[in-house]
A and B are shown apart, each in its own frame.
Chain A
Amino acid sequence: MLSYLGRRILQLIPVFLGATLLLYAMVFLRPGDPIAALGGERGLPEATQEAIRAEYNLDKPFIVQYLLFLRGVVTLDFGVDFRGREITEVIANAFPVTMQLALMALVIEAVFGIGFGLIAGLRKGKFFDGTVMVLSLTLIAVPTFVLGFIMQIVVGVNLGWLPVTVGNNPDFVSLLMPAIVLAGTSFAYVLRLTRTSVAENSTADYVRTARARGLGRYQVTTRHVLRNSLIPVVTFIGADLGALMSGSIITEGIFNIHGVGGTLYDAITRGESVTVVAMTTVLVVVYIAANLLVDLLYAALDPRIRYA
């Protein structure tokens, strides 16, 4: 197990390097000069521009810039942004609320997705199944931002059950609606995945054997059908954590949450390249780590898989 973990982490290093190099190139090898744009219409004196370029290592060759950036990643020191704030601090401030939002969304999609999916899968072809399938397709077809607006109008304004926006003091209640919206599409996917998997497994030979041995319905469902059906679902949910965190760009914009998504979008529109690269790097790390975690969870869920 430990040697497997070590091997996997070693394998992830080239992936991480490649992904960050790609991101870095995308942001910095673009046309246009972010430094010259800093001064607005009047422009900055040449000497000031040179000084800023030197501060952000932009005067050095691209590959040196990238290596210096990597040193920043390893030492967790990304430097300061154009407004003089420590980027590490900006990220540290933005992360907790997005993490909370993503985890809430993850719990919502897991609990309700697996729950409804299990019932639908056990009653494949019945009324409940059909209704849930059509509803989940509709949910997938409606984009996150549309769902967000509809929820804001109906639940927030008309019914007044939940706060419409979040603002500066995010708590559980105000984050509930954004979390539901963020979870929406993934919930539908989890539901459909669970349903297919449960429907397939409930006709498997080992389930019939379990019934023949006289196990109760509950035992058969939870211990045999569900446990075997969860393997593809867990893969999806785990990989989704990274997607939820980056998907929060839209959700946080709609609900005015000052988390990773909001800060990142702000940085993108202001052309704060250094912040953009730093934050996307952290998001990529979360994404890779979540995928690694999923692989390890496999062994816990599926006794057939043993990592040597």
Chain B
Amino acid sequence: MPDNYDDPRGGLATPRPGQEHFVAEVDEGGLGAVDAVKSDSAPSSFWRDAWREMRGRWLFWVSAAIILLVVLVAAFPGWFTSLDPRLDCELTESLGGPEPGHPFGFDKQGCDIYTRTIYGARASVLVGIMSTTMVVLVGAVMGSIAGYYGKWFDTILSRVTDIFFAIPLVLAAIVIMSVTPNRTAFIVALVLALFGWPQIARITRGTVMSVKNNEFVTAARSLGMSRGRILRRHVLPNASAPIIVYATVALGQFIVAEASLSFLGIGLPPSVVSWGGDINQYQQAIRTAPEIILYPAGGLALTVLGFMMMGDVVRDALDPKARKR
């Protein structure tokens, strides 16, 4: 809705062949100028307000910094360490404490824990982003079709959603992953998304149903806009706030789920450095060196915390009801 203010036709549908159109002449002078919208001053849109609200909060900047750091670490681990997490291991250093150049000490295999913690970020961030993207795409499409078109579409899609909703995420993921032979980050993300989308479909369906009864939707329809175009241009942008909020929180939950699977030994294979896998490996030394488990766990917690805090800030900014207070 906010992006076509200066479209003079106001999103009017192009006339179909053979269709007659009456277009009133535009009154260029006199009173018409009074009515004209000042196009040089930007309208105070919903998203602009939300952004102003967000940037005023320290929590936003803290979580943005954490997310930026984690994404950088995940994308370019070589910037943060010069060692290799799998090859630069000396068994003589097994479970050795911190020393210069190795701030976190060594694990049982004599690998540098700092390096492993740095390299572990990639698996978590990758799985989190991939499964969230899939969940948002599938959930938003399913939910908006069910909510917008209604009728038998809604009946069938809602029942399918109910079926997937009836199986708890972690349980389903454990059952599928335990029988999956080649476990890559993509496969883990796919499995998590397969059982994670119903939540977002429900949220989208609900908001789309409440948005589609607004006057501007009726107006767009009376102007002859097609249903698909109304859904894309008017309904979805106005229903996107809850989807964005849920997606930010879901990203954190998917990261935890991936770590849980890797911890159980049915997530990513041991050849991939991941926080969940490292926690599993380090817990075997929990009596002799209990503190080393805190490094991968800390990385995991910090990442999830960053996304959860961001979700909080975004929710406060996008919910006008909460903003008033």
Interface residues of A (CB under 8 A from B): 14-16, 18-19, 22-23, 26-27, 30-32, 137-138, 140-146, 149, 152-153, 157, 199-200, 203, 242-243, 246-247, 249-250, 253, 265, 268-269, 276, 280, 283-284, 287-288
How many B residues face the partner with a CB closer than 8 A? 44
Q: Kindly list chain A residues whose C-beta atoms are within 8 Å of the C-beta of B178.
A: 268-269
A-B contact pairs, 18 of them (CB 8 A): A19-B163, A19-B164, A26-B176, A137-B309, A141-B304, A142-B297, A143-B260, A144-B260, A146-B279, A146-B301, A149-B297, A152-B286, A153-B286, A243-B170, A247-B168, A249-B264, A287-B167, A288-B166
Contact of B252 among A140, A249, A284, A288 (CB under 8 A): A140
**Distance between A273 CB and nearest chain B CB, rounded to angstroms:** 9
Chain B contacts for A243, CB-based, 8 A: 168, 170
DSSP majority for the A interface? helix
B104 at the interface (CB under 8 A from A): no
Residue among A14, A23, A27, A140 making CB contact with B308, cutoff 8 Å: A140
In the bound complex, what is the Cα–Cα distance between A143 and B290 (angstroms)?
Answer: 17
Out of B166, B259, B260, B303, which one reaches A19, CB within 8 Å?
Answer: B166
Answer yes or no: B302 CB below 8 A from chain A CBs: yes
B18 contacts partner chain A, Cβ-Cβ < 8 Å: no
| CA A26 to CA B264, docked complex, whole Å | 19
Contact with A along B23-42 (1 / 0, CB 8 A): 00000000000000000000
In the assembled complex, the Cα of A246 lies from the Cα of B178 at a distance in Å of: 15
With both beta carbons as reference points, the residue of chain A lying nearest to B307 in the complex is identified as A141
Of B168, B263, B276, B286, most A-chain CB atoms within 10 Å: B168
A250 engages B260 (CB within 8 Å): yes
Instruction: For residue B123, give the distance in angstroms from its CB to the closest CB of chain A.
Output: 14
Q: Are A143 and B170 in contact (CB under 8 A)?
A: no
With A146-B293, A146-B301, A249-B174 known as contacts, the answer to whether A141 contacts B168 (CB < 8 A) is no
The residue from B162, B171, B301, B322 contacting A138, defined by CB atoms under 8 A apart: B301
Q: Does B240 contact A (CB under 8 A)?
A: no
Question: Does the CB pair B163–A15 fall under 8 Å?
Answer: yes
Determine if A246 and B168 form an interchain contact, defined as CB atoms under 8 angstroms apart: yes
A16, B163: Cα distance in complex, Å: 7
A249 touches B171 (CB 8 A): yes
Contact B166 A149 (CB under 8 A): no
Q: A145-B279, A149-B297 are known contacts; what are 6 more A-B pairs with Cβ within 8 Å?
A: A15-B162, A22-B167, A137-B312, A141-B302, A242-B168, A249-B174
With A26-B176, A27-B179, A152-B286 as contacts: A140 and B170 at CB distance below 8 Å: no
